[in-house]
């Protein structure tokens, strides 16, 4: 089925000016960028977005990293988009990511791992709503 997923290009990637290279990976995989916005997250926004990880030891560092520079939030659309995006991204830890994935090729480490992608249809719905209204998404 055609799905939508929320993607974030993270500060380590905007800092290196590789957002176009990352977008090319999505498009080459058949994913369409149907909404996109560059923004600087506040601490409160990053805390809220990653609230599910609140109790994890990496939470405070993650929030600091995600607010350290601009991010590009985007909605990707396509057949099986949630799973397809996860394949294109590769494993969270770039040292474990398959060859040819975004994280294997661009990520610096498990935290500065260049991209985020929703992990389920429910999460995708919530995460898209966090950044976009329906009128911002043009399929
Ligand atoms: P993301 O897919 O955005 O979801 C949570 C983020 O936490 C993850 O990518 C990483 O950027 C970051 N993170 C840092 N350390 C860890 C860890 N040990 N396990 C999982 N995620 C981590």
Contact 113, 61 (CB under 8 A): no
Q: What is the pLDDT of residues 2-44, one digit of tens each?
A: 999 999 999 999 999 999 999 999 999 999 999 999 999 999 9
Pocket of ligand 1 contains residue 33 by CB under 6 Å = no
Asked if the ipTM is above 0.85, the reply is: yes
Query: Measured between alpha carbons, how far is 68 from 70 in angstroms, rounded to an integer?
Result: 7
Q: What is the CA radius of gyration of the chain?
A: 14
pLDDT at 86: 98
Q: What is the mean pLDDT of residues 72-99?
A: 98
pLDDT at 136: 98
pLDDT at 80: 98
Closest listed residue to residue 117, CA positions, set 28, 25, 40: 25
Pocket of ligand 1 contains residue 84 by CB under 6 Å = no
pLDDT at 130: 98
Q: What share of the chain is helix, strand, coil (3-state, %, to 5)?
A: 45, 20, 35
* CB atoms near residue 46 (< 10 Å): 19
Q: Measured in angstroms, how far is the CA atom of residue 58 from the centroid of ligand 1? A: 7
The atom number, within ligand 1, closest to the CA of 92 reads 9
Q: Measured in angstroms, how far is the CA atom of residue 111 from the centroid of ligand 1? A: 5
Contact 118, 6 (CB under 8 A): yes
pLDDT band for position 46 (cuts 50, 70, 90): very high
pLDDT at 27: 98
Share of the chain above pLDDT 90, in %: 100
Query: Starting from the edge strand earliest in sequence, which strands make up the sheet with 2-9, in order?
Result: 32-39, 71-79, 2-9, 115-117
Q: Which residue has the tokens 């249809």?
A: 121
- Output the pTM of the full model: 0.98
Q: Measured in angstroms, how far is the CA atom of residue 110 from the centroid of ligand 1? A: 6
Active site residues: 116
Mean pLDDT over the full length of the chain: 98
Q: Is 56 annotated as a binding residue?
A: no
* 3-class SS of residue 105: helix
């Amino acid at each position: 089925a055609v799905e939508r997923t929320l993607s974030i290009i993270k500060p380590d990637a905007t800092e290196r000016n590789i957002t176009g290279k990352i977008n090319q990976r999505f498009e080459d995989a058949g994913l369409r960028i149907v909404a996109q916005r560059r923004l600087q997250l506040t601490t409160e926004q990053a805390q809220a977005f990653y609230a599910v990880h609140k109790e994890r030891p990496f939470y405070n560092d993650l929030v600091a990293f995600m607010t350290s520079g601009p991010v590009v939030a985007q909605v990707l659309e396509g057949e099986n988009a949630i799973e397809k995006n996860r394949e294109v991204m590769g494993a969270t830890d770039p040292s474990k990511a398959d060859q040819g994935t975004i994280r294997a090729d661009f990520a610096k480490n498990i935290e500065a791992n260049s991209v985020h992608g929703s992990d389920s249809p429910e999460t995708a719905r919530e995460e898209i709503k966090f950044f976009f209204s329906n009128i911002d998404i043009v399929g």
